[in-house]
């Protein structure tokens, strides 16, 4: 099915109006109960989509790749699982910041993430955002039921990152007007967020109600809800980060923990397509049709999941080879099994964590051996030239790269 906005460019007004009326009256067409008004236009249009074979195929492929991803993940050693999730959580947070133009590094997010995991109160940047994603990962966050729940998500995701003049100044949301500018940087206004605040509350409530509509497939609802949140634009700043987190909340219900970590990564990789799809859907020539946005959004999720699956399979294969090498290493023959256990922990860190390495304390926490015992073993592994160390206070240990090449 050709997108309605493309037909707008090909036919005169009468022909286009006929095509639009025919389309919204298709027996299969789903009217969604959410309305938009394109910029500088007098008419409102109800959002709708036509369940095409393309959408059905995308939904099916996403479920299929998610199952493959989970199967590979379940086959990993326990420490590799933990580090894989943590690594991709850091990647997701970095990408959502990058999309918003928030300056951050993977290293500082990883440091915040590790401190949160260890229950350390470091007052580092992004600590609140990290905690939100970790609560989501651990199943400690409930889906929103009220507009106030959306504000709570916003506060947690953006804490300490929004300048005071850009913070919400209404009862829950903003009370003044805000604008979305064209992605090209021309300064042209392509969308004005809904106002006043009373209407924002109403439309956010409508969005939450729509997300509870069991007649629409969840993945389609996530795409539609993601667009409509951007259309409402309830805050002056931080809308994108908040919207992507909310989408992740619903994706977790459908795809599990790993699917949760695909939204920002995919949106950032396909940033131009992602932003362009909002502009198209907001326009008068699109008349509320959601097919283009749904298909582009689901394609972004699918491609991110495929990339994650490929990376995980490669790391899983490398980890299998490493385990075989460690178990047969003549340097470890005759030594207690705990030496191999330590090597396997350091190997999992090597393949599944891009940070500097792993500390004695972290190895001790993973294996349940005392830190003096781990320190003694690691020093012997250093003498055998199986591992190397970097840094001071703390010292990080890593498998020597040459170990796997020989």
Shared-domain flag, residues 123 and 196: yes
- Residue 195 has a pLDDT of 93
Taking residue 257's Cβ as centre, other Cβ atoms within 10 Å add up to 18
Task: Give yes or no: residues 271 and 380 share one domain.
Answer: no
Burial readout 371-386 (b: 16 or more C-beta within 10 A, e: otherwise)? eeebbebbebbeeeeb
User: Measured between alpha carbons, how far is 40 from 7 in angstroms, rounded to an integer?
Assistant: 21
pLDDT of residue 186: 61
Q: What is the CATH number of the domain that holds 89?
A: 1.10.3290.10
- Supply 22's token pair: 């025919």
Q: Are residues 96 and 201 in the same domain?
A: yes
**CA distance linking residue 261 with residue 267, whole number of Å:** 11
Domain-embedded: residue 74: yes
Phi, psi dihedrals of residue 233, rounded to the nearest 5°: 50, 65
Is 364 in the same domain as 270?
no
Clarify whether residues 122 and 259 are in a common domain.
yes
Residue ranges of the chain with per-residue pLDDT less than 70: 118, 120-124, 182-187, 354-355
Is 331 marked as a binding-site residue?
no
Nearest to 250 by CA among 203, 289, 296, 297: 297
Query: Catalytic amino acids?
Result: 233
Q: From CA 282, how far away is CA 240, in angstroms rounded?
A: 16
Residues 301 and 346 placed together within one structural domain of the fold: no
Instruction: Give the separation between CA 249 and CA 240, rounded to whole angstroms.
Output: 14
Annotated binding residue 135: no
Q: Which range of residues forms the domain containing residue 336?
A: 329-405
CA distance between the termini of the chain: 55
- Residue 280 and residue 350: Cα distance in Å, rounded? 44
Last residue of a domain, one of 282, 310, 338: 310
pLDDT at 152: 96
Burial class (CB in 10 A: 0-12, 13-18, 19+), 175: middle
Domain assignment present for 3: no
Does 12 reside within a domain?
A: no
- The pLDDT assigned to 108 comes to 83
Quote the tokens at residue 311: 């990376």
How far apart (Å, rounded) are the C-alpha atoms in residues 195 and 169? 13
What's the pLDDT score for residue 291?
98
Which of 277, 310, 343 is the C-terminal boundary of a domain?
310
**353 in a domain, yes or no?**
yes
Q: Check whether 240 is labelled as a binding-site residue.
A: yes
Give SS3 for 245. helix
Alpha-carbon torsion, ordered 35, 38, 43, 49, to 10 deg: -40
In a domain, 144, yes or no: yes
Residue 1 located in a structural domain: no
What CATH number does residue 366 fall under?
1.10.10.10
For residue 14, the model assigns a pLDDT of: 92
What is the pTM assigned to this prediction? Answer: 0.89
Q: Same domain for 202 and 351?
A: no
Domain count, the chain: 2
**Element holding 55 (H helix, E strand):** helix 53-74
**Rounded CA gap, 268 and 276, in Å?**
13
User: 182 and 264 in one domain?
Assistant: yes
Helix (H, G, I), strand (E, B) or coil at 300: helix
| 399 domain residue, yes or no | yes
Closest CA to 150 of 196, 78, 214, 201: 201
* Domain closes at, from 275, 310, 345: 310
Residues 349 and 223 in one domain: no
Q: Does residue 38 fall inside a structural domain?
A: yes
Examine the domain organization and report whether 218 and 119 are in the same domain. Answer: yes
241 a known binding residue?
A: yes
Q: List residues bridging with 31 in a β-sheet.
A: 48
Token pair in block for residue 83: 């580090």
Instruction: Give the DSSP H/E element, type plus range, for residue 69.
Output: helix 53-74
279 and 341 housed in the same domain: no
Tell me what pLDDT residue 84 has: 81
DSSP state of 165: G
Residue 349 shares a structural domain with residue 295: no
Is position 239 annotated in a ligand binding site? yes
């Amino acid at each position: 099915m050709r997108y309605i906005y493309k037909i707008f460019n090909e036919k005169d007004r009468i022909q286009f109006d006929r095509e639009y009326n025919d389309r919204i009256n298709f027996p299969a067409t789903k009217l969604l109960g959410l309305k938009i008004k394109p910029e500088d236009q007098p008419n409102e249009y109800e959002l709708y989509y036509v369940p095409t074979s393309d959408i059905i195929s995308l939904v099916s492929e996403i479920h299929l790749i998610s199952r493959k991803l989970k199967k590979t993940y379940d086959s990993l050693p326990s420490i590799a699982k933990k580090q894989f999730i943590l690594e991709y959580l850091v990647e997701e947070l970095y990408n959502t910041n990058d999309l918003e133009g928030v300056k951050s590094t993977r290293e500082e997010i990883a440091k915040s993430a590790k401190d949160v995991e260890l229950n350390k109160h470091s007052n580092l940047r992004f600590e609140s955002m990290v905690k939100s994603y970790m609560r989501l990962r651990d199943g400690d966050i409930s889906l929103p039921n009220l507009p106030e729940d959306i504000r709570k998500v916003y506060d947690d995701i953006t804490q300490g990152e929004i300048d005071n003049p850009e913070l919400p100044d209404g009862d829950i949301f903003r009370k003044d007007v805000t604008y979305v500018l064209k992605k090209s940087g021309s300064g042209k206004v392509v969308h004005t967020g809904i106002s006043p605040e009373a209407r924002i509350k109403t439309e956010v409530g409508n969005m939450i109600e729509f997300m509870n509509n069991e007649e629409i497939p969840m993945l389609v609802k996530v795409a539609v809800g993601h667009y409509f949140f951007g259309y409402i634009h309830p805050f002056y700043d931080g809308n994108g980060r908040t919207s992507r987190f909310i989408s992740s909340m619903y994706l977790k219900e459908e795809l599990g923990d790993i699917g949760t970590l695909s939204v920002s990564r995919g949106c950032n990789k396909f940033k131009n397509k992602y932003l362009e799809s909002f502009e198209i859907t907001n326009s008068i020539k699109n008349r509320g049709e959601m097919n283009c946005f749904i298909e582009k959004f689901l394609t972004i999720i699918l491609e991110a999941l495929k990339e994650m699956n490929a990376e995980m399979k490669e790391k899983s294969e490398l980890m299998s080879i490493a385990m075989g090498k460690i178990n047969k290493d003549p340097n470890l023959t005759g030594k207690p099994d705990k030496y191999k256990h330590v090597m396997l922990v350091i190997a999992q860190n090597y393949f599944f964590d891009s940070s500097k390495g792993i500390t004695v304390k972290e190895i001790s926490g993973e294996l349940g051996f005392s830190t003096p015992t781990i320190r003694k073993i690691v020093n012997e592994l250093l003498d055998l030239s199986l591992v190397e160390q970097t840094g001071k206070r703390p010292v990080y240990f890593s498998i020597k790269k040459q170990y796997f090449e020989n």
